[in-house]
Amino acid sequence: MLGIIGGTSLLFSDLPDLEKKTVATPFGTAEVHLGEIALLMRHQFSLPPHRINFRASLAALAITGVDRIVAFGSVGSLKKEIQPGSIVIPTDYMSTTDIPSIHDHAIDHVMPEIDEKLSSVLAELIPEAKKGGVYAQTRGPRIETVSEVKALVEFADVVGMTLASEATLAKELEMKFAAICMVDNYAHGLNHEVLTYEHILKTAKENKERTERILENIVEKLK
């Protein structure tokens, strides 16, 4: 089954007609909307990025039969050439913060990855997207400092607060994972604009129709 993880970029979009269920996992409960696909909203229970129960969310998708995940996420650009309004399909990730794991009581070194084949399919379905690049995860909920951004620019292309955790857990739970990053702004210090959550919400609202079209196309082709 196809699983979709939705974040800020899906807040204003019309979503498929699905039934909401609360799924119990060894790590807590999570709400999953089920039907021909499984949809999990990342910020359920109004949780900010640093308080999301990633283990419960990803385990809930695995329990409901998901074997491949497409995650939507809002990001900041670390490169001048990746302008706000762009779409990036990352092929690798890094993190400056702790990453959760389901392996609390066993040594299991998992080889992290973003699934190449699934990413290539997304690139075909979204021809305007840039395929390739590194996603850097920071803890949140605060925006990165100018100095942090200067360091991240050397190693990554976009920055967000969730994808590395989700991708790692998906791998541990044997689900293929790929992501669609909606670039809402330049990272702090790369532009003169003042970054706020309200600005990110405004951009997500402006891109509502495009996001809906992408989601519908993915569900139609991959369900």
Domains of the chain: 2-222 (3.40.50.1580)
Average model confidence (pLDDT) across the chain = 90
Give the total residue count for the chain. Answer: 223
Question: What is the pLDDT at residue 14?
Answer: 63
Question: What is the pLDDT at residue 17?
Answer: 80
Segment 177-216, tens digit of pLDDT: 999 999 989 999 887 776 676 767 777 777 778 888 899 8
Segment 94-147, tens digit of pLDDT: 999 999 999 877 777 788 899 999 999 999 999 999 999 999 999 989 999 999
Question: What CA–CA distance (Å, rounded) separates 9 from 21?
Answer: 22
Question: What CA–CA distance (Å, rounded) separates 184 from 182?
Answer: 6
Q: How confident is the model at residue 20 (pLDDT cuts 50, 70, 90)?
A: very high
Question: What CA–CA distance (Å, rounded) separates 93 from 87?
Answer: 16
Question: What is the pLDDT at residue 109?
Answer: 73
Question: What is the pLDDT at residue 69?
Answer: 98
Question: What is the pLDDT at residue 115?
Answer: 97
Question: What CA–CA distance (Å, rounded) separates 103 from 6?
Answer: 25
